[in-house]
């Protein structure tokens, strides 16, 4: 039986899908830490996305029925409840905050899967990207942060930059490349953080959340709230995340 040794570890990848892994210069991420002296916004909307934007939105990750997306407000209506800007999923379905996923199996014909925990799901990302692209002049030059703890790749020796929530690897590429079909495998996570070179907005997610947060202009947030493929609510930078 062959014995594994550290010298046999695969080298860190230079690409994550179509995105380039930045290994020498993390300067593009410095604005995030400079705008967060002391990281005092841990656990808030600004801690997941970035502080300093005029407006913010919370984009809900949908539940599912037979792998098809189901809106939170559709589920809430069946339970005779409403979804507000800061409503948590456990409040929608009426269980304890720290429920286990197998404790509630849904409602037949309505939903059978909880919203996906983690960074932005692919379906939500596909709806976000065209809206985001209309609100930046640098959609062809964007930056991304990926938590080094997801475990799909070995990141030994790759430098990271700090956020209030995680240590992130810096990636770069086009906005459209965030949902590159050449990701390492079908279950690989999308980046937690996205922002364009002109810093017109910032998208933030986290491994423990069922929502994605976006900071940007009032016009961007208004368009996100009205987008038919998204379920979004206006929130404040200092609001707590679920």
Nearest alpha carbon to residue 76 among 61, 87, 64, 65 = 87
* Residue given tokens 């983690």 in the structure block: 118
Over residues 173-200, the mean pLDDT reads: 85
pLDDT at 27: 94
pLDDT at 7: 43
pLDDT at 3: 42
Over residues 152-167, the mean pLDDT reads: 87
Could you report the per-residue pLDDT of 56-81, keeping only the tens digit for each? 999 999 999 999 999 999 999 999 99
Question: What average pLDDT is seen over the chain?
Answer: 88
Over residues 159-185, the mean pLDDT reads: 85
What lies within 8 Å, CB to CB, of 146 at 6+ separation is: 16, 168, 169, 171, 189, 191, 192
Q: Model pTM?
A: 0.90
Q: pLDDT tier at 2 (50, 70, 90 boundaries)?
A: very low
* pLDDT surpasses 60 at 178: yes
pLDDT at 9: 53
Q: pLDDT tier at 183 (50, 70, 90 boundaries)?
A: low
pLDDT at 150: 86
Q: pLDDT tier at 184 (50, 70, 90 boundaries)?
A: low
In this structure, the dihedral spanned by the alpha carbons of residues 136, 142, 146 and 152, taken in order and rounded to 10 degrees, is: 120
With a pLDDT cut of 90, the percent of the chain lying above it is: 69
pLDDT at 166: 87
pLDDT at 100: 64
């Amino acid at each position: 039986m062959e014995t594994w040794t550290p010298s046999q570890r695969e080298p860190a990848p230079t690409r994550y899908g179509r995105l380039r892994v930045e290994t020498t210069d993390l300067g593009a991420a410095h604005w995030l830490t400079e705008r967060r002296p002391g990281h005092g916004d841990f656990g808030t909307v600004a801690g997941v996305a970035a502080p300093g934007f005029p407006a913010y939105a919370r984009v809900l990750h949908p539940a599912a029925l037979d792998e098809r997306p189901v809106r939170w407000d559709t589920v809430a209506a069946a339970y005779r409840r409403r979804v507000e800007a800061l409503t948590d999923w456990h409040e929608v379905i009426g269980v304890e905050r720290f429920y286990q996923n197998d404790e509630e199996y849904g409602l037949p014909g309505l939903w059978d899967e909880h919203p996906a925990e983690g960074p932005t799901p692919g379906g939500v990302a596909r709806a976000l990207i065209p809206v985001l692209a209309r609100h930046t002049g640098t959609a062809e030059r964007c930056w991304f942060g990926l938590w080094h703890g997801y475990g799909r790749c070995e990141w030994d020796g790759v430098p990271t930059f700090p956020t209030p929530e995680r240590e992130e690897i810096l990636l770069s590429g086009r906005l459209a490349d965030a949902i590159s079909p050449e990701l390492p495998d079908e279950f690989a996570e999308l980046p937690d953080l996205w922002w364009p070179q002109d810093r017109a907005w910032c998208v933030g997610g986290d491994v423990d959340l069922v929502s994605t947060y976006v900071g940007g202009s009032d016009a961007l947030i208004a368009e996100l709230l009205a987008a038919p493929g998204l379920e979004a609510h206006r929130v404040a930078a200092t609001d707590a995340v679920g």
